[in-house]
Structure 1
Amino acid sequence: MERIMSYVVITGASAGIGECFARALAAEKQNVILVARREERLNALAAELKKQHGIEAIVLKADLADQTGADALARRINEGGWPLAGLINNAGFGDRGAFSDLALERQLAMIQVNITSLVSLTWQLLPALRKQSGSFVINVASTAAFQAGPNMAIYYATKAFVLSFSEALHEELKGAGVAVSALCPGATASEFAQEAHMTDTKLFKAGTMTAEAVVKKSLAQRRNAIVIPGLRNLLMVWSGKLSPRAVTRRLAGWLQA
């Protein structure tokens, strides 16, 4: 297969869903720009992808919880002049606990990573994406986006924003040839559950999808406005749409218990 000389930017690429996106795209002979805080992991992944698939893998260390992180990252990418075929806004985190009990600083950092940096990076890289035919943006949301989430109030709210934002951009940009998709996975086997202190919840004990399966579905349907991988997740979302919001939010809180 002929090498694609454009690049796909992947944030949060050092583990989990982000790493799987990098591996799947490299297997398609797609060059990638890997972004995360853990530079050693990124360097190891980049070296592996170059060796296995003969692609270019650029490593950019960035802390998207920092208010200047997205601006600095976008500036480096734009100044690098790399043609962009895609942007995968995967970086994000959650935390479990009552809003009043969790540290305010951590919850504001969650908003910074999950919303503010995502919006900033998308806006600043859109001019480059518009130049490439068939380019795409994948924003990683969650099935959490479809209802309020007691004991994870900020996380659920950030993902609701990502879903709404992505749907709007899908309509705005389809005429410009840029596909925007909101990926809405449910419980997924990755570092996220440990970071969010969710491994012992009913939600994760009920079973998880693999990150590989989530990514495969996302890339196959990257031109759809909303992608919900897994039949169980799809059924949960649709049943939630038919239920009163009072019921769905109580169920979400129960699953976090």
Structure 2
Amino acid sequence: MPTALITGATAGLGAAFARRLAGDGFSLVLVARDETRLAEVADQLKLRYGVSVEVLGADLATEDGLARVESRLRDGVDLLVNNAGFGHPGSFPTVPVEDEVRMLKLHCEAVLRLTLAALPAMRERDRGAVINVASVAAFFTRGTYSASKAWVVNFSESAAAEIGHPRIRIMALCPGFVRTEFHQRAGMDAATIPGFLWLKADDVVNEAMRDLALGRTVSVPDLRYKAIVAVGRFVPRGVVAAVSGRLGRR
């Protein structure tokens, strides 16, 4: 039975990945900071899908948390989903530097280190995959969040090319606005975001798994967002920055 490790697994896209992969017969390793909630999610998945679920409480913005998950990955998994992340309630440069550094540690350092920790066992088994959850924001300009997600996309494409192994895949997943807890925690006003831009977490995960199977290195779920990204390449950067900066702001 294949094993998948998912970070940020208690809500949103992480929980959707857990449901999809459990339904596909994966044993799960779920990683999150809230150990109580983590245990509740694990019990629900075991009951519904009858799969093995291991829980690992860890804050990936800390050295101890990263080291714990790295150690588990060295034992081997078939699929790593680097999903943990957050958004700031404020905008640059008003966000405290400590919060900015925490974001970079979680979105960039954790993705780098966990991917590197997972790859040796995948090479030994001659198979495996890594999905790094980025965002459509990676193609636009919205402070440190966009910059960090742009790094995730570039890193994933570069790593996939340099590994050059047909049975080991690395893909960046770039969803748009998904109905999760993310926006509330980030202090965003969801009412300012047009209704047609919202996606369902389960739909995003299903499209991500399809794109991974097709060997794509970047997945942008939904035709609406594929079009937005394509058009955005031809719009002046200043205009893009002005529009993206207003979306979701209170």
TM-score by length of structure 2 reads 0.93
User: Which of 35, 40, 43 is equivalent to 1:39?
Assistant: 35
Task: Give CA deviations for 1:26-84 in whole Å, capped at 9, x if unaligned.
Answer: 00011111000111222122222222222111100100111332122211443xx3x41
Task: Give CA deviations for 1:130-167 in whole Å, capped at 9, x if unaligned.
Answer: 23344110000000000211xxx111110010010011
Trace 1:27-176 onto structure 2 (pairs within 5 A): 27-78=23-74, 81=75, 83-149=76-142, 153-175=143-165
Q: Structure 1 residues 111 and 42 mapped into 2: Cα distance closer, same or farther (>3 Å)? A: same
User: Which of 236, 242, 246 is equivalent to 1:250?
Assistant: 242
Which amino acid is the alignment partner of residue 192 of structure 1?
Answer: F
Shift of residue 205, structure 1, vs aligned partner: 5.5
Q: Following the alignment from structure 1 to structure 2, what is the Cα–Cα distance between the partners of residues 221 and 176?
A: 15
Structure 2 match to 1:226: 218
Q: Which ranges of structure 2 fall in alignment gaps of 5 or more residues?
A: none
Q: How many residues align?
A: 247
Q: Following the alignment from structure 1 to structure 2, what is the Cα–Cα distance between the partners of residues 166 and 76?
A: 21
Shift of residue 252, structure 1, vs aligned partner: 1.2
Does the CA contact (< 8 Å) of 1:34 and 1:60 recur in 2? yes
Q: Which moved more, 1:234-243 or 1:206-215?
A: 206-215
Does the CA contact (< 8 Å) of 2:173 and 2:218 recur in 1? yes
Does the CA contact (< 8 Å) of 2:30 and 2:38 recur in 1? yes
Shift of residue 207, structure 1, vs aligned partner: 4.0
Task: Give CA deviations for 1:79-103 in whole Å, capped at 9, x if unaligned.
Answer: xx3x411100000111142322212
User: Which of 1, 11, 20 is equivalent to 2:16?
Assistant: 20
Q: Structure 1 residues 62 and 204 mapped into 2: Cα distance closer, same or farther (>3 Å)? A: farther
Which amino acid is the alignment partner of residue 225 of structure 2?
Answer: N
Q: RMSD across aligned C-alpha pairs, in angstroms?
A: 1.7
Does the CA contact (< 8 Å) of 1:71 and 1:120 recur in 2? no
Trace 1:149-228 onto structure 2 (pairs within 5 A): 149=142, 153-175=143-165, 177-200=167-190, 202-203=192-193, 207-222=197-212, 223-228=215-220
Q: Following the alignment from structure 2 to structure 1, what is the Cα–Cα distance between the partners of residues 78 and 119?
A: 10
Match of 1:102, SS state, is coil
Does the CA contact (< 8 Å) of 2:137 and 2:176 recur in 1? yes
Shift of residue 112, structure 1, vs aligned partner: 0.9
Which amino acid is the alignment partner of residue 194 of structure 1?
Answer: Q
Match of 1:131, SS state, is helix
Task: Give CA deviations for 1:192-236 in whole Å, capped at 9, x if unaligned.
Answer: 101111134633655411111111111111131111111211111
Identity rate, percent: 36
Match of 2:51, SS state, is coil
Shift of residue 256, structure 1, vs aligned partner: 4.1
Q: Which ranges of structure 1 fall in alignment gaps of 5 or more residues?
A: none
Q: Following the alignment from structure 1 to structure 2, what is the Cα–Cα distance between the partners of residues 128 and 226?
A: 23
Shift of residue 189, structure 1, vs aligned partner: 0.3
Q: Following the alignment from structure 1 to structure 2, what is the Cα–Cα distance between the partners of residues 94 and 129?
A: 31
